[in-house]
Amino acid sequence: MIDDFAGKTAVLTGAGSGFGLECARIAARRGMRLVLVDVQQEALDRAVAELEALDVPLLARRVDVSSGTQMQALADAVQQRFGAPHLVFNNAGVGAAGLVWENSEADWQWVLGVNLWGVIHGVRLFTPLMLTAARADPLWRGHIVNTASMAGLVSMPNMGVYNTSKHAVVALTETLHQDLQLVTTQVGASVLCPYFVPTGIGRSERNRPAALQGAALTTSQRVGQAMLDKAVAHGKVSAAEVAAKVFDAVAQGHFYIYSHPQALSSVAERMQAIVQARNPPDPFASRPEVGAQLRSALRT
């Protein structure tokens, strides 16, 4: 929980667009020192140009969050420039679709590398710095926010790689919360579980490393990508609104952060099926036409 953000340091990955950029904008308006991290240099440069105009102390780094070496260098640079960060937003992420058995090893390595290992590195490298600062000052407060997804709470078909990465982030963050509770009351954690929000995640293939390029897209991958693009493009909740929810949660010490609370009915149905040892519920029960469309496309 952080009740006063002024003068504190925020580290934000995926800061060149989407939730990362919108959270950076809020952080700047609240007088925070910024560490902007992104793998796309052009997007990072645009964010730096915009936020430097607000006259806030700023450090920018182009980092592949899946690399432990690059993340270690980032943590060292943050510690040297600003000391322990007060807010860490492990937010960088990429999207993927397709039948789970059709995803290549390169697909798995790329998606898990960014979505899961990026969060793992952020947690393992910054949490010790924050705990050291907390032990030195009883008034010091810090918070870690990890971006998962509603796909981390339900398991929609044709999205297996993405689902797996986001379920892991939810489990990691819940455990982080419990572990922190064992040792301190000065550092907290939250998990962000957005639904369909217009961000740049649908175009994440542009940042895929050459060494992890997959084979030609299968039918299921093309269909899944098209459906994801349509759903994201028609999202009614903006990235800026989600960013505001992130800061509200950090200020109030709330763990779960949702962009679309109405989508939790699907989570409740899944939990009931687990408790009652029933088969997973039909994910298209409320929109059968979508399920029919997907089945038709994949069976043709």
- At a CB cut-off of 8 Å and minimum separation 6, what does 2 contact? 8, 86, 87, 141, 142, 143, 250, 251
Question: What angle, rounded to 10 degrees, do the helices at 118-136 and 68-82 form?
Answer: 30
- Could you say which of 162, 195, 256, 258 is catalytic? 162
Does the annotation mark 258 as catalytic?
no
Question: What is d(CA 195, CA 175) in angstroms, rounded to the nearest whole number?
Answer: 22
Contact call for residues 171 and 121 (beta carbons, < 8 A) = no
Report how far residue 259's alpha carbon sits from residue 194's, in angstroms, rounded to the nearest whole number: 5
What stretch of H or E contains 251?
helix 239-252
Which helix (H) or strand (E) covers residue 35, if one does? strand 33-38
Token couple for 181: 């509770």
Bridge partners, residue 144, by sequence: 88, 189
DSSP annotation of 145 reads E
Residue 146 contacts by C-beta under 8 Å, 6 or more apart in sequence?
Answer: 90, 91, 119, 122, 123, 169, 172, 173, 176, 189, 190, 191, 192
CA–CA dist 271, 263 (Å, integer): 14
Q: What residues are paired with 145 via a beta bridge?
A: 89, 190
> Which are the catalytic amino acids?
162
